[in-house]
Amino acid sequence: MSNWDRFLDAFFNARVMAKYLPDIAHGTLVTIELAALVIVSGLAAGLALALLRSLGFRLVNLLIIFVVDLFRALPPLVVIVFIYFGLPAVELSPSGFVSTWLSLALVLMAFSEEIFWAGITSIARGQWEAARSTGLSYGQTLIHVVLPQAIRLTIPPLTNRTIAITKGTALGTVVAVSEILGMASSAVSNSYNPSPLTLGAIAYLILFLPMVTVGRWLETRMTWRR
């Protein structure tokens, strides 16, 4: 067998690929499910924290800043490992799926709070004052005046950060989540052929390449030139 044939047989083995395609497809669904949960809960929690912070309770704000800093400084894999291998010591045994979801959602919460907060504070004070003086309440000012402008500013950095953290769903494989990488890895050891990894790689590209492209487009489209 020539080197080229050997390469094709290893990474593009049609028989192995056909056999494990259903597994990888199933893994893709798990990845999508995990990613959707992470994005929705992470962003919602981040926005909620940013809004809470805008109320200006000193003690609460210090706590928020600490939590945000903590999850920006800790590697997501460390958080996952702690939740999955550490919590059972106190009789809590979250599954790999829940551990990964929780960890990534916390990390996304921290990063998105920071971005939402920067967006809110970037809206000039005069806008608040003007809106309030026309008779809008605090909540109305926030929803109709501040947030529409703040969110526009925050969309490009938020998109890029969300993509980066969502890619972390692959970390789930370390705690036995049957997502794409986990399925591909076990298929490799079952078939003794790395073609399932190629399939997995393709699945990731199909999922994330459109997101990266949209992120790139948003970045050029929505940033205001300085």
Partner 1 sequence: MLQTFFNVDIVSQAWRIILAGLGNTVLLSAIVVPLGLAGGLALSLLAGVRKPWVRWPLMAWVDFFRAFPPLVLLIFLYAGLPFVGLELGGFACVCIAFFLNNGAYYGEILRAGIESVPEGQTEAARSTGLGRLQTMLYVVLPQAVRNVLPDLLSNTLEVVKLTSLGSVVAMPELLFQARQAQSLTYNPTPIVVAALVYFVMLWPLVRLLSRLENRALARR
Q: Shortest approach of partner 1 to residue 181 CB, angstroms?
A: 6
Among the listed residues 35, 84, 16, 10, the one whose alpha carbon sits nearest the alpha carbon of residue 206: 35
Beta carbon nearer to partner 1, 42 or 194: 194
Q: Shortest approach of partner 1 to residue 149 CB, angstroms?
A: 11
The amino acid that residue 196 corresponds to is: P
Beta carbon nearer to partner 1, 48 or 205: 205
Cα distance from N-terminal residue to C-terminal residue, the chain: 59
Q: Shortest approach of partner 1 to residue 52 CB, angstroms?
A: 17
Q: Shortest approach of partner 1 to residue 20 CB, angstroms?
A: 14
The footprint of partner 1 (CB under 8 A) covers 6-7, 10-11, 68-70, 72-79, 81-82, 85-87, 89-90, 114-115, 117-119, 121-122, 153-154, 163-164, 167-171, 173-174, 180-181, 185, 188, 193-194, 197-198, 200-201, 204-205, 208-209, 211-213, 216, 224, 226
Contacts of 127 (CB under 8 A, 6+ apart): 145, 146, 149
Q: How far apart are CA 41 and CA 82, in angstroms?
A: 20
Q: How far apart are CA 25 and CA 38, in angstroms?
A: 20
